[in-house]
Amino acid sequence: MTLRFAALALILLATDPGVSYFSRARDISIASPQQANYFIVDQEMLQYARPDLSDLRIFDGDTQVPYALSEQLGGLQTAEHEAKILNLGVVAGRSEFDLDLESITQYNHIRLTLDAKDFLVTARATGKDALAAGNRGVDLGSSTLYDFSRENLGGHSTLKLPMASFRYIHVSLTPGISPKQVQSASVYSLEDKKSHWTEVGSCGQPKQVQPKDKDKRASKPGTVIECEIPANVRVDRILFQVAPGQINFRRSVEVPESTQGSQESTTFDVASGDISRVQIKRGGTVVNNEQLFLSMRRPRAEHFSVTISNGDDPPLAIERVQPQAVEQRVFFEPKGKTRLRLYYGDEKLGAPAYDYAKFFNDDNAAAQAQLGQPEANAAFTGRQDDRPWSERHKAVLWLAMILAVVGLGALALRGMKQA
């Protein structure tokens, strides 16, 4: 019985930390004491807490307050499924066809593969449960498809629909695309939820550079921006703010991996892609589209350089470049309290297991609590070193080993002299 009690005590000590184990502390000012509240994880917390934020703890005096951690990332996409193209042909000068979606339950995007360049057409989608001639179907709206290869502005060939589950989708294209140019189609579902982002780190002013002959990464002038990120803070994307008056551009962007101390330039990119802004009107059809962020593939780097290839065009009027991380919110129930205390900064503490988190759903009606200024925890003492004696006293072991070797050597030498 005594051994069981001791084991239980050790488990409780491991899962119920005292405030003296945390290096950082902040006040939480409750916005609405009688309903769910949340606060946003900021750069300070990302820097000093564990990378997975498992050491966050909210206290009401000496009592823990359960919470749930939620990433505010929208746009979750399901896998793409290829759709069978039926009845492809021309009706009144328009290319039309049906998509058979028998095995696909829900979708709200259709991606077409078109063997065509330099076009601007409108695609209208109609949902049907049968291909009978008298079935007029349900109008699912229209989308603008384009390719501006001549202007080097890229293209777009995806239809956006309301969430649908029709067995068939009828697609009608305005003149500009022939049936033989329609190669394939795939459908997928994309969650229509806005993402929220937290600013992390900072970037300097853009600098214009000329490529050197030995630099194989660029053959044209470019713009370079240096960025600094606090240690342990992840970066999920880089946002570019380009002057509103600058339109109709598309530039390739690269974030090369750092190779400090190497004389050769690296060919691996932490991130690469395009940024663009397209505003074109042709024949009464308006295209207005922009992509001004770059996703990061390696989220942790304390320093990186962003390189924008300008080709033969003048540099972009870049107003700001800002690294960002997906916003994370901590939801909790204050139960009438107007002030609580947040602690973090315990590198050995594991994630808590709260019933509140198991049954939690994002609460859009939650009030936003405010975090006070971060401060060092006055009660911080840290954890005792729980490593084995041999790990904590390596110098003593090495000294003992050296003395033993010297002693054995002396004995061996003495024996040789006697022999």
CA distance 305 to 209: 13
**Looking at the predicted structure, is the pLDDT value of residue 248 above 60?**
yes
pLDDT band at 398 (very low <50, low <70, confident <90, very high): confident
For 72, 276, 366, the CA distances from 362, given in Å and listed in that order, are 9, 33, 9
Other beta carbons within 10 Å of 141? 12
Q: What is the DSSP letter of 180?
A: G
pLDDT exceeds 50 at position 5: no
**pLDDT tens track for 38-49:** 999 999 999 999
Task: Give me the pLDDT at residue 32, please.
Answer: 95
Amino acid at 26: R
Closest CA to 269 of 233, 239, 294: 294
Q: Quick one: pLDDT at residue 263?
A: 44
Residue 11 is predicted with a pLDDT of: 39
Cα separation, 371 vs 141, in Å, equals: 45
Top mean-pLDDT range of 213-217, 253-257, 338-342: 338-342
In this structure, are strands 318-326 and 197-199 parallel, antiparallel, or unpaired? antiparallel
Q: Which run of H or E residues covers position 85?
A: strand 81-91
pLDDT confidence bin for 411, thresholds 50/70/90: confident
Domain boundaries, the chain: 18-73+330-376, 81-188, 197-326
251 is written with which tokens? 């530039």
Yes or no: domain 197-326 corresponds to CATH 2.60.40: no
Please tell me the total number of residues recorded for the chain in this structure.
419
Q: What is the CATH number of domain 81-188?
A: 2.60.120.260
Question: Residue type for 13, please?
Answer: L
The residues with which 229 forms a beta bridge, in sequence order, are none
pTM confidence score: 0.77
Q: Please write the tens of the pLDDT for every residue from 252-263.
A: 999 987 544 444
Residue with tokens 């999920």: 236
The residues, ordered by sequence, that sit 6+ positions from 412 with a Cβ below 8 Å of its Cβ are: none
CA atoms of 93 and 90, how far apart (whole Å): 6
Amino acid at 358: K
Q: Among 33-47, 254-268, 303-317, which is the least confidently predicted range? A: 254-268
pLDDT band at 265 (very low <50, low <70, confident <90, very high): very low
Per CATH, 81-188 and 197-326 having the same topology is answered yes
What count of other Cβ atoms lies within 10 Å of the Cβ of residue 196? 15
Give the model's confidence band at 205: pLDDT under 50 very low, under 70 low, under 90 confident, else very high.
Answer: very high
At 361, the amino acid letter reads N
CA distances from 26 to 18, 41, 247 (A): 15, 12, 45
- Write the pLDDT tens digit of every residue in 96-111: 999 999 989 899 999 9
| CB distance 233 to 284 below 8 Å | no
Given a contact cutoff of 8 angstroms between Cβ atoms, the answer to whether 224 and 206 are in contact is yes
CA separation for the pair 206, 222 (Å, rounded): 10
Residue 17's pLDDT is: 57
Average pLDDT over residues 307-330: 95
Share of the chain above pLDDT 70, in %: 88
Could you tell me which of 153, 195, 187, 155 has the C-alpha nearest to residue 171?
187
Q: For residues 54 and 349, what is the distance between their CA atoms, to the nearest angstrom?
A: 7
Question: What's the pLDDT score for residue 3?
Answer: 45
Per-residue pLDDT, 366: 94
pLDDT over 60 (residue 179): yes
